[in-house]
Amino acid sequence: MNGKIQKCIEQIYVNKDFNYFKRSCKKEYKFIEELQLLANTVCSKLYLESVIHSPTVDMRFVFEDYEQDIYCVHYQTILKISKLADMFYLQHEFCVENKDPNRMTPVLDGFGGEPYTKTQYKVEEQITRILENNKMEKIEFNELDEVVGSLEMLPNSILGKQMTVELALFHDAYGIND
């Protein structure tokens, strides 16, 4: 596990520094405006969710659909910023209407840490540059599912039975801000 991730998890969950958690959740970032300007130049829509008591800033960059004949692909890129660890990750997504008459689902979709289009790639580069210039560190997509073995989830948690890096850094899994 990345040292920065481990240090943040220890501070909050092992040392029970819940005041750090609460203070971090109140952070506001000036670079959000720069990300919004970027989205205005390359995206058809931008959805921003930044709740004052949330440990995360969520942004969804929606791109123009690609259409050819009956084929249409929807693309978007999700950016999540952890206010707790000053880290971020990017998730690229696509969705295609399933025209197969023998289909089981109405859409074919996928997501991952790698871009599906050149536009997503360019946006990822620009987002990464903006965030790294503001002392943010990128966490790789596959690191999010790493289990934090030293921590247990609360009984009957709707978030699952195991604490992961994503839950620890991007969610209020223990209800600290309740």
Whole-angstrom distance, CA of residue 72 vs CA of residue 95: 9
Is the pLDDT assigned to residue 40 strictly greater than 90? yes
The whole model's pTM is what? 0.90
pLDDT per residue over 42-60, tens digit each?
999 999 987 778 999 999 9
132 CA to centre of own chain: 16
Whole-angstrom distance, CA of residue 120 vs CA of residue 114: 9
Distances (CA, A) of 115 to 24, 90, 123, 125, 163: 30, 9, 9, 10, 27
Is the pLDDT assigned to residue 158 strictly greater than 70? no
DSSP 44-87: SEEEEE--TT-SEEEEEEEPPPEEETTEEEEEEEEEEEETTTTE
Mean pLDDT, rounded, of the chain: 91
Query: Are the C-beta atoms of 169 and 9 separated by less than 8 Å?
Result: yes
